[in-house]
Amino acid sequence: MKENLLVIVGPTAVGKTDLSIEIALHFQGEIISGDSMQVYKGMDIGTAKIRVEEMKGIPHYLIDEFNPDYAFSVAEFQEIATARISEINRRNHLPIIVGGTGLYIKSVTHQYQFSKASMNESIRSEWYHYLEIYGKKALHQKLADIDLETAKKLHVNDVKRIIRALEVYYQTGKTMSQLLKEQQLKIPYHLLMIGLTMDREKLYDRINRRVDLMLEQGLVEEVEKLLELGYDERYTSMQGIGYKEIISYLKGDLSLEEAVNQIKQGTRRFAKRQLSWFRQMPEINWFDMTERKEQVQKEIMEKISHHFAGKLIYLKNN
């Protein structure tokens, strides 16, 4: 029998978190964060991380798991999330993945098979030597020359993953993106995917207001504290939207107004990319949250009840 899995996706600021709590309360769910940034401790305001009091007693996983200097990978996300899904199902509860990191979520729903190419110290040493001589940008360009698709997904500072991608290519003769495309992906779960969307202008307004709120809540102070702890732009986590711009402000490279405007613009572009990714997944059932929020939420609840009818031991009547 396939395990149950509910997934809620959509662009940033569309309302996934609030909806997920209501669903979890109604269907005795437990929530797994599908956000690549919320795994990091101390990065709360800039990632719009849910606060403990907002969780309303619902168990949450893959939040505050690692320090910001840890290079968390999609393969690790898949391993941890898959194990949590099984644990939650064994408790006869409903596992709910909530987030906007498309690659991470699809790696679980479609169970990507990541490259099993073993570590090759000789190849890795060569590329680390290349890095020492020519620098990060040149290393990133080397990957772009052979696998532009993967290179676009990796920041220039993400040296560990860049070298791993080069290592896989020179061991197997195939790029990471090619290996991914060759997989025969199958969904191993009794899966329901809910996608939230919204009128673009309204979504962009929500994004702008969210960024303003982050500043009011102390985003600058949060970044200052992280820098004091030694977590700077060397780390992939600190290249996230909201963090790299505030670092530039604190260094004097940007005014605060310029930094805030760049955060807003970067977040709007990110939301557009999120929608583009998820639109390619035919499994998603889309719901427009622009108007009639309560009615739409009721329709989503009905969709979940119908999909998991007879599959859930416990349905909370409230």
Q: Is the dihedral of CA 270, 178, 110, 63 positive or negative?
A: negative
10 carries a ligand binding annotation: yes
Contact yes or no for 221/249 (Cβ under 8 A): no
13 labeled binding residue: yes
SS3 content of the chain, % helix, strand, coil (to 5): 55, 10, 35
Does 16 show up as a binding residue in the annotation? yes
Annotated binding-site residue? 188: no
| Residue 59 labeled ligand binder | no
Ligand-binding site membership of 12 (annotated): yes
To the nearest 10 degrees (0 to 180), the angle between helices 136-146 and 159-172 is: 40
Query: Can you say whether residue 274 is alpha, beta or left, with left for phi > 0 and alpha for psi between -120 and 50 degrees?
Result: alpha
- Report whether 240 belongs to an annotated binding site: no
Phi, psi for residue 253 in degrees, rounded to 5:
-80, -20
The verdict on whether residue 172 carries a ligand-binding annotation is no
Q: Would you list which residues are annotated within the binding site?
A: 10-17
Q: Which residues are annotated as a binding site for ATP?
A: 10-17
Instruction: Give the annotated binding-site residues for substrate.
Output: 12-17
